[in-house]
Structure 1
Amino acid sequence: MRSTLRNVVRYLAILVGAFVLALPLLFMVSGSLKSATEINTFPPRLLPATPIWQNFADAWTYLTAGVIANSFVFALGIVGLQLIISLPAAFALAKIPFKWTAAVMASLIVPMFIPGNLTLIPLFIVTFQLGWLNSFAGLIIPMAAQCAFAVLLFRQFFASLPGGLIEAARIDGASWGRVLWSIGIPLSRPALATFCSVSFLTAWNMYIWPQVVAPDPEHRVLNVALAPLAGGENSLIPPSVGLAGAVIAMVPVLIVFIVFQKWYIKGVAGTGLE
């Protein structure tokens, strides 16, 4: 009886917590279907009296297919380049002994404590000097180079791999690259899914760097295009249209999380090997 009561209380607490966390999301989706007058009524109503789907059509005039494609190129480009850089580096730090491992690890940890706003101006100057303004190279490469977290994450995972597995492959004549490709990467799917989902979400939500480096229409990403929909006191754009734009911007991230959910949970739980 006591165990049943404990379970009931636990599930009630989970349901209440889930509702509190989901309430802003529900309000955003509901507000995207309301009229400009209805969204400002007090007390607010969670559900619209009559759904207005035109809000999404109005938001789509700002968030076009080209803008969404630019956002995917930007986010996937950062994730892909960071994987190319961080996986070999992390594997070398974890499994290939050399003299300066501790110094390299320290050089990776220190930049993580520097706020990004402090490096924004120097990074912009370097990008300008390279002639990368208003280009995908300027959008992607400077952000992809900031992969210290990825190296440390994968290094910790590779360090947990059984040493005998690596030694057996080396005895059979496999090169270090072959060991990484055939053993390290296949076994690191939980860590890969965790990093890819977090890195994709971080890149997808970036605003300052794309706004500074590539604000032109040809390279504009979602958050830059979404900014005018945020509205204000003198804005002529209804807040419901802005909420519809936020819903459109949320859908790709939600799909990515659903696809990688299984591996993301494994990576967070730190289960390591299957």
Structure 2
Amino acid sequence: MSKSLYIPFRYTLIVVCGFILAIPLLFMISGSLKSAQEIVAYPPPLLPETPIWQNFADAWSYLTPRVIANSFIFSLGVVGLQLVVSLPAAFALAKIPFKWSTGIMATLIVPMFVPGNLTLIPLFVVTFQLGWLNSFAGLIIPMAAQSAFAILLFRQFFVTLPPGLIEAARIDGAGWWRVFVSIALPLARPALATFVSISFLSAWNMYIWPQIVAPNPAQRVINVALAPLAGGENSIISPSVGLAGAVIAMIPVLTVFIVFQKWYIKGVVGTGLE
């Protein structure tokens, strides 16, 4: 294929693939504005005949400001604690020579291959024994402790830092903590953006753990509140209202990705995650 034909073909293929992947998203947005009759019609209409914005008001009555605030507390708490734990650990494993570093890396990698459902019951038992049920501590700390991926991600980035940069700071009398805070951390913005995007998305989309640990309305997060809107044969709630709730729940995640998009792409390339 000649270069003159390759470039148009490449971009056409990208657009087609992007449109196919966006079909569920477009269906969700369109369905959130349809009436109850339009959403169950067959074949379904592509666009609503008359947009029904009341669906969003009805969905908001279930997704109260308290639920939205709980979701932000949970998601940001998980991301923040994982950053506090994983950044220093990753820098130490990448740049500070010490004994047993290989064994520590192996210990971190092994749990990543264990399905989360297998550890769900032991994790719940430990949380129960600590008296953390129906609390933000029970929601956040067990999930934030699962930092193996974050440590490996940041370690991969810190390994790529020029050794001469670290050695020059050490010769000038900087301690390891000063090197980490003043040199390594400012250069880690691409990796930080990658991790924040992935971790916030994962925490925001969690359902099973918040459902079993904190079903109390005072700690209820957005996916637990969305569950009754999923509908069913005996549901009195229109599926359109459920789709409107899903659109509301999607906005924070989409905003985070748009904000960090530039650094996210650099981080994926720079850390070798493809």
TM bucket by the smaller chain? over 0.9
Say if 2:118 is the partner of 1:107: no
> Displacement, 1:90?
0.6
Say if 2:119 is the partner of 1:119: yes
Letter in structure 2 aligned against 1:240: S
> Displacement, 1:18?
1.3
Q: Which residue of 2 aligns with 1:236?
A: 236
Identity %: 78
> Displacement, 1:11?
2.0
Q: Which residue of 1 aligns with 2:176?
A: 176
Q: Which residue of 2 aligns with 1:224?
A: 224
Q: Which residue of 2 aligns with 1:97?
A: 97
Q: Distance in 2 between matches of 1:108 and 1:271?
A: 18
* Partner SS state of residue 215, structure 1: coil
Query: What does 1:157-172 align with in structure 2 at a 5 Å threshold?
Result: 157-172=157-172
> Displacement, 1:5?
2.4
Q: Distance in 2 between matches of 1:131 and 1:271?
A: 39
The answer to whether the 8 Å contact 2:157/2:271 transfers is: no
Point out the more displaced range, 29-38 or 150-159: 150-159
> Displacement, 1:2?
3.9
Q: Distance in 1 between matches of 2:46 and 2:183?
A: 51
Q: Which residue of 2 aligns with 1:82?
A: 82
> Displacement, 1:271?
7.1
> Displacement, 1:7?
2.2
Q: Distance in 2 between matches of 1:191 and 1:127?
A: 31
* Partner SS state of residue 92, structure 1: helix
Letter in structure 1 aligned against 2:194: T
RMSD over aligned Cα, in angstroms? 1.2
Q: Which residue of 2 aligns with 1:39?
A: 39
Letter in structure 2 aligned against 1:139: L
Point out the more displaced range, 244-253 or 149-158: 149-158
Q: Distance in 2 between matches of 1:95 and 1:5?
A: 47
Q: Distance in 2 between matches of 1:41 and 1:232?
A: 16
Q: Which residue of 2 aligns with 1:246?
A: 246
Say if 2:249 is the partner of 1:268: no
Letter in structure 2 aligned against 1:45: P
* Partner SS state of residue 202, structure 1: helix
Q: Distance in 2 between matches of 1:113 and 1:18?
A: 30
Q: Which residue of 1 aligns with 2:51?
A: 51
Letter in structure 2 aligned against 1:38: E
Letter in structure 1 aligned against 2:204: W
Q: Which residue of 2 aligns with 1:255?
A: 255
Say if 2:138 is the partner of 1:142: no
Q: Distance in 1 between matches of 2:113 and 2:49?
A: 49
The answer to whether the 8 Å contact 2:191/2:271 transfers is: no
Say if 2:71 is the partner of 1:71: yes
TM-score (norm: length of structure 1): 0.97
Q: Distance in 2 between matches of 1:2 and 1:82?
A: 49
